[in-house]
Structure 1
Amino acid sequence: MPIESDDELRDILELDTVAVVGCSSTPGKDAHEIPKYLREHGYDVIPVNPFADEIFGRTVYDSLTDVDEEIDIVDVFRPSEEVSDIVDNAIERDDAGVVWTQLGIRDDEAAKRAEDAGKRVVQDHCMKVEHQRLVE
């Protein structure tokens, strides 16, 4: 079952490094503003987007499999129909212990695969909203 409890969410929000799949270079878009907020609150945000070269002054990776840095959380800003492949990429990584899909994004089958592989899963929740509610 995906994580819903405040204690578990708070525990996840204490992690440091977030790979944002679908991170946008366009100010004003949620996929830009939420990672920006996370950066401003101490998270190491790793942007993943095959259509951008640089976001927040950082090199952007084309895919999760290209990220050579350690990852704690995979934060997904892609449509629900793309979650399955992203989860498969997260499962291949030993470091990415959490898969988090933003508001309106869910794939229950992929979430089950991630959990079966030992990952913690948060679906259909905004990291910024949860951070503001539980941490700030």
Structure 2
Amino acid sequence: MTDDDIRRILTTTRTIALVGWSPKPERPSNGVARFLAGQGYRVIPVNPGQAGQQALGTTVRASLSEIDEQVDMVDIFRRSEEVLPVVQEALTLPGVKTIWMQLGVVNEEAAALARVKGLDVVMNRCPAIEIPRLGI
């Protein structure tokens, strides 16, 4: 994935489903979600333990399948071995364009599945690092 690819993804994405969001401010998923929302992205938190609560101006969803609007990117804060089912569920969403696996998250099987379906895949990177680095 080149810098131009990352730039294209981050400048065309509008809505991000953030899987593994935590309500705890000290958790990376919380900080990244707040950063992305502050950059103008619509962030939909996904966490079954927090479902129904309000965060980032929307309702926390238990799963991706509960989202009833266009999602451009699925940003995954889960252990690498837990990514495949998330990607399989993401592929049922209409219009999803990108699977983004956070720092330390790599799952080649899930990435290959998403690529076969025509999605962009970013692994082991964080949009909250890439946006300032690329000057987006």
Equivalent position of 1:116 in the other structure: 116
Question: Relative CO higher for 1 or 2, CA cutoff 8 Å, sep ≥ 6?
Answer: 1
Query: Could you say what secondary structure the match of 1:88 adopts?
Result: helix
Query: Could you say what secondary structure the match of 2:32 adopts?
Result: helix
Q: Is the 1:24–1:55 Cα contact (8 Å) retained in structure 2?
A: no
Which amino acid in the other structure matches residue 130 of structure 1?
E
Distance, in Å, in 1 between the alignment partners of 2:40 and 2:57 is 15
TM-score, normalised via structure 1 length: 0.94
Q: Deviations over 1:23-80 (max 9, x none)?
A: 1111011010011000111111011111112222421110011111110000001111
TM-score, normalised via structure 2 length: 0.94
Q: Is the 1:10–1:135 Cα contact (8 Å) retained in structure 2?
A: no
Q: Is the 2:49–2:62 Cα contact (8 Å) retained in structure 1?
A: yes
Q: Is the 2:70–2:94 Cα contact (8 Å) retained in structure 1?
A: no
Q: Is the 1:16–1:72 Cα contact (8 Å) retained in structure 2?
A: yes
Are 1:19 and 2:33 an aligned pair?
no
Equivalent position of 1:9 in the other structure: 6
> Given the alignment, which residue of 26, 29, 53 partners 1:28?
26
Distance, in Å, in 2 between the alignment partners of 1:63 and 1:96 is 15
How many equivalent residue pairs?
A: 133
Q: Is the 1:23–1:47 Cα contact (8 Å) retained in structure 2?
A: yes
Q: Is the 1:38–1:45 Cα contact (8 Å) retained in structure 2?
A: yes
Runs of 5+ consecutive residues of structure 1 not aligned to the other structure: none
Are 1:87 and 2:102 an aligned pair?
no
